[in-house]
Structure 1
């Protein structure tokens, strides 16, 4: 029986950890575990065999780091390693399964150890190619399935899933590494991860590493709430501890098994272990759980679109899709597209988010531009400055696919129609990449003049989508808004169709609201009243301008009147303060239709634009607007002191973003974009200081390094960016750095703070050794540590001075150590 047939119907057992067991057998710090497939195949084979004997149905190959981005060994090729890894597991399967059980060998694919662009330096397609090579080799050598695990970034796991599905026919499992708040490193939460991975068509979804079984229980409940897939749970054996120079985990096999039984009771149907778990843990787990019935996998009906860090559920409460990133009727936006003025486009997105949009429509179609490339550029950069999901709006199938491929999440797609040609082009893309698709009620005969005709086309779209395996929950219907100046019954027919589509098919709905008033004076009057009527008749999401006061009044009032705004709290908060806000805005804006630079108490100067808004350098940095940051800084240094700009604009902006990151309201992409904008502003100021002959203030030096044996530098690189923006000089020694080199540089450069990073359990011993040598040879040096495998207790045990749970905590520690809270 294939594993797909067994998934969700019976409880399946994974194996446990590999790295710590190899260490027990002599794996040296810094030695690649994967080369043991060739150097010591008997040791690897024995570990696999013990897991099969313990009751594992699925055993992972020793290939966690076997990809071209991560594996570098002059003696062994990647093909040799993966071939040997699969064969070792297969031989163990033959020897260890003596009771006739049907078992499987899974190709283990771990992360690249790098951040993908635009946050890092690894291109999405380069990551895809690295995963594709590993997946292809795995299937070629006999793996039964592919298990993608320990992923902390939705973008990287998307590259891995696409690589596996496009290059093999194997089942694909994917598990992520969440923190206790249910967040990924790059900001994703449980529903956003579920939406994207389900859309991509994985066979099972779940979590592994990072947490012990007790900490994973609430996350499992959240995942079960949203997913229609079988759920995998593979915890660590608790939290790492240290004793007599050795790392151990604090959850013993019996306790591990008892908690895993609770995890099965809460709905997991594939279970196993990660760091610190042993064959004994798995044996006890199998004994405790093997006869326990599993909860059925339930089909969920939520219509969800997502970005890397936010899931938006299209439910009963109406939502807003911002319409401003669209050239139709917008001369200035057309100019921005032709000039590739990305900051103007990004500002439109940021403004709409601030005004209350839940989703942003993105349409960049103009006859004289490369729509495919422009769509890719806009989608990529918009996702760097806003966490809102995007609606990819295009009639060009190539542009649609290009955007869907590089989109970090599960997008909305605008659109497909009832024309067979349209459905043939769009539905395969929805099936391949995932998405919530807008169905337009028009076909080869045009737009029906009556409601029943439009409802019939809606049914045709839903029926055709089902042939591709696209569920009704992933379709929203646009019954089309007709202009009442040319069709007197246009509004009545649209509202009737809207109501009938909801009643007959139970699908969510969307409308481009402002089409109703073309050709009429005082269009906002018509638009806002029609918007209210549409919401009353079942409109799920209106495509509107969230900066329109009339439209937002209709929206806010509707939520209050229909009970979606509990106790009218949002309405009261917004409108009670409106008079004061309008008065303050009038004093600041000047009303002259120009963009004004404002900063501290310095003078404001007009810079040509037509937005009529005040844009400060502080705001540009907070929002990650790099071109604006450069321009505004160049203008400000003409009239204000450089250090004053730093103290009144740059540092407050970085503090706002840093505080938001710590609170979970700002995510990693936004943090890094803000850091980039600040870096550009600092560069302008530095040039001015150099031209004036002013001496730069001496910066405190900090060494950063990923410890010996560890080739993951994501966390270290994030800390580096932030420390540099807060005025520290960072000596980045890279990854896989031996203790002796770190000590040597600390002495040579007279450094008194060293930051050490480790992501792998097998390399924390190198961190401890580095600290020991620093204590011995550079006793005045403080050490801060961080990484997914660490916690405060473990940091204390290995003698670190500070444990940073995230990058901003490292900055705060450095500031407190050097007394630089208000300096750059």
Structure 2
């Protein structure tokens, strides 16, 4: 039986944790779990057998970390490890009770390196790594693929595409979230659902992260958004460190209470993650009759998103039009020269003006649009968190934009030409994007509303036939300049109303087209925008920095009872300054301070701005009075949840450019920046994850500390020896896995035994402040920002 058929009418039970079970079978700290399973197939079969006897329908292969980056270093291939793991799962099923449906799930976990722009791993490289695992999994006989414990939406997208494009297996995908409701990289559960479900997965949800109680709010958010089956695999609560070991605080009884609530919220695929064992699965299996499969109510909301910003389009939503080289000389030059900071500045100005979404059009005859589109999108997304609309008449460039966009985007555009519909709509469906349909065809643009409506109807029906949701279809009834086709201005408005009433889809319009070729364009644009909004326009494509344009939008929301209690209107205009947006943005553009450059992560502007400051001030002033306060401000925004990890890293990388500029200047004078102190950072013995540690290193260096990075899987004696040799006052230790927490405690104990005057701070996904104290650490660092505060306490 296909697992997709089974979950239509049944609760599907996954197994529980693998790592702790392997430890019970002899896996040592620092030993690779996948290689251990390869060397000990009987032990692996026995673990699977225990879960099958407990009642699991699905056995997850021991391949969570079986990627080439990890295995090549150990002398093993992905193919042999995956093949062995799948076959051991199949053998366990062969020996099990045949009365229950049983499935083998190929497990794909995170690669262990961050993708660009946070890290150095490219999207394409990540895709190839996942592709190799997926192909071998299907070849070896897996029944489905489970992509799990993803912290980065972009990495999850790469994994899903690799699985979908290279196998015919069902694909489930889960991410992991913190108690603040965000992933490590700032992704929202709603953004995960909008993006990953759009790629065509068969189930979506959450695993690891937290215990059942803490996970409930996240599952609630997922259940409100998802239209495919929901999978939940919680931890057995939050771990406590006892004698260096992680002990989980939720038993099977309490865990099942959480499972019941998950099922009530619509979860139909249940399993366990860290801390769970066959006892937990048995409790679920024995009480399966209590769990009632709840049909997920179909969500008809229209959404677009970036990882950290999610927009439901239910009121006029402004799309900024200015990233379009038509008639913009400076933008043309910046695209040709690939000076993308200018593009980012245009985006930032529009967001300050009030844009909710940014249109991105880079169509020029003298650039390679297919190559440039993903480059521009990546650069914009490294700094700006609002959703983007990918705008191109080049089909290859449009597809590249959809593929490399991180989130759910809008494809602009298609029209009523049959050939174009058949070329573009499958691409839009594949990537789960929204689609803009222009009311023109082989005969051009009809002069009447009725003629345009007929094309709109064709586009909608064709899109629906490709499986694109009605709520993801936007129709552009096309505004034409009154200088040439004045009588058709009202036909556009009539068509908008017809589309809204008869087709039930959203409408979009490039408003400023109406005023080309006439004086005082502002008056025409504002008036026509008002009329279009009244006719039912949902997404005006406008210049939000144009005087009065946002006033029209904000006033419309008040009059139409969208801005309840006039709250936002009063907040914006009560100071009577009327916020002269054009002046403010021009001032900002012409006088971009180093502080502003750091805040927005504009790396390409950092060097010149630093050199300009160094003409007036010395190096210490620039570091202590400009760069560090700027980073402090960025850190405060990060703490408040106003920005997220990608923006924090981008700002840190910008400071690094400035620091390098200062160092180059000092080198010419044969002087150096005085270090504020030496700090060791290391990922402990047995742990090969260094994501968090690398981020801490970047932040500490930018604050003027000299960081000795010992790397990952660092032996205890190496940490001790380097601390003695360099007279280190502060050591930072990182561990991401529960299995290596004991190694962290042993490292701290070894430092204490040597009698070194060294303070230790610790961090990692499995740690809390309480656990840090229990293992003898001086400080707990929840993130890179707190690591900087710890350093300040010890050196300033």
Query: Into which bin does the TM-score normalised by the smaller protein fall?
Result: over 0.9
Distance 2:790 2:93 in 1: 50
Alignment-derived partner of residue 19 in structure 1: 19
Task: Give the secondary structure class of the aligned counterpart of 2:407.
Answer: coil
Distance 2:74 2:553 in 1: 63
Alignment-derived partner of residue 498 in structure 1: 496
Alignment-derived partner of residue 542 in structure 2: 544
Structure 2 unmatched runs, 5+: none
Alignment-derived partner of residue 574 in structure 1: 572
Residue correspondence of structure 1 range 382-531 to structure 2 within 5 A: 382-531=380-529
- Aligned with 1:558 (options 536, 556, 568): 556
RMSD (Å) for aligned C-alpha atoms:
1.7
Task: Please state if 1:361 is matched with 2:359.
Answer: yes
Distance 2:244 2:343 in 1: 55
Number of positions where the alignment pairs a residue of Structure 1 with one of Structure 2: 796
Deviation at 1:298, TM superposition (A): 2.4
Deviation at 1:287, TM superposition (A): 2.0
Distance 1:686 1:466 in 2: 59
Show CA shifts across 1:24-71 (max 9, x none).
Answer: 121111100001222111111111011111111111000000011233
Distance 1:761 1:393 in 2: 46
Alignment-derived partner of residue 240 in structure 1: 239
Deviation at 1:230, TM superposition (A): 0.7
- Cα contact 1:146–1:170 (8 A) shared by 2: yes
Deviation at 1:460, TM superposition (A): 0.9
Deviation at 1:582, TM superposition (A): 5.3
Q: TM-score, normalised by structure 1?
A: 0.94
Deviation at 1:507, TM superposition (A): 0.8
Task: Please state if 1:57 is matched with 2:57.
Answer: yes
Alignment-derived partner of residue 641 in structure 1: 618
Distance 2:761 2:235 in 1: 24
Deviation at 1:758, TM superposition (A): 1.4
Residue correspondence of structure 1 range 204-219 to structure 2 within 5 A: 204-219=203-218
Alignment-derived partner of residue 608 in structure 1: none
Distance 2:679 2:342 in 1: 37
Alignment-derived partner of residue 289 in structure 1: 288
Distance 1:616 1:563 in 2: 40
Residue correspondence of structure 1 range 112-151 to structure 2 within 5 A: 112-151=111-150
- Cα contact 1:64–1:110 (8 A) shared by 2: yes
Q: TM-score, normalised by structure 2?
A: 0.98
Task: Give the secondary structure class of the aligned counterpart of 1:744.
Answer: helix
Residue correspondence of structure 1 range 240-279 to structure 2 within 5 A: 240-279=239-278
Show CA shifts across 1:360-393 (max 9, x none).
Answer: 1000010111111221211010000100111000
Deviation at 1:675, TM superposition (A): 0.9
Alignment-derived partner of residue 745 in structure 2: 768
Task: Give the secondary structure class of the aligned counterpart of 1:362.
Answer: strand
Task: Please state if 1:7 is matched with 2:7.
Answer: yes
- Cα contact 2:223–2:230 (8 A) shared by 1: yes
Distance 2:196 2:75 in 1: 36
- Cα contact 2:244–2:741 (8 A) shared by 1: no
Deviation at 1:694, TM superposition (A): 4.7
Residue correspondence of structure 1 range 300-315 to structure 2 within 5 A: 300-315=299-314
Deviation at 1:102, TM superposition (A): 0.9
Task: Give the secondary structure class of the aligned counterpart of 1:465.
Answer: helix
Show CA shifts across 1:691-749 (max 9, x none).
Answer: 34555323311111111121111111111111111111111111111111111111111
Structure 1 unmatched runs, 5+: 597-610, 820-824
- Cα contact 1:753–1:781 (8 A) shared by 2: yes
- Aligned with 2:712 (options 735, 754, 764): 735
- Cα contact 2:676–2:795 (8 A) shared by 1: no
Task: Give the secondary structure class of the aligned counterpart of 2:537.
Answer: coil
Distance 2:392 2:502 in 1: 28
Distance 1:579 1:39 in 2: 72
Distance 1:121 1:575 in 2: 44
Residue correspondence of structure 1 range 616-655 to structure 2 within 5 A: 616-655=593-632
Alignment-derived partner of residue 698 in structure 1: 675
Task: Please state if 1:33 is matched with 2:33.
Answer: yes
- Cα contact 1:743–1:778 (8 A) shared by 2: no
Show CA shifts across 1:116-163 (max 9, x none).
Answer: 112111111111111000000100000000000000000101110000
Distance 2:578 2:511 in 1: 30
Distance 2:776 2:113 in 1: 28
- Cα contact 1:709–1:763 (8 A) shared by 2: yes
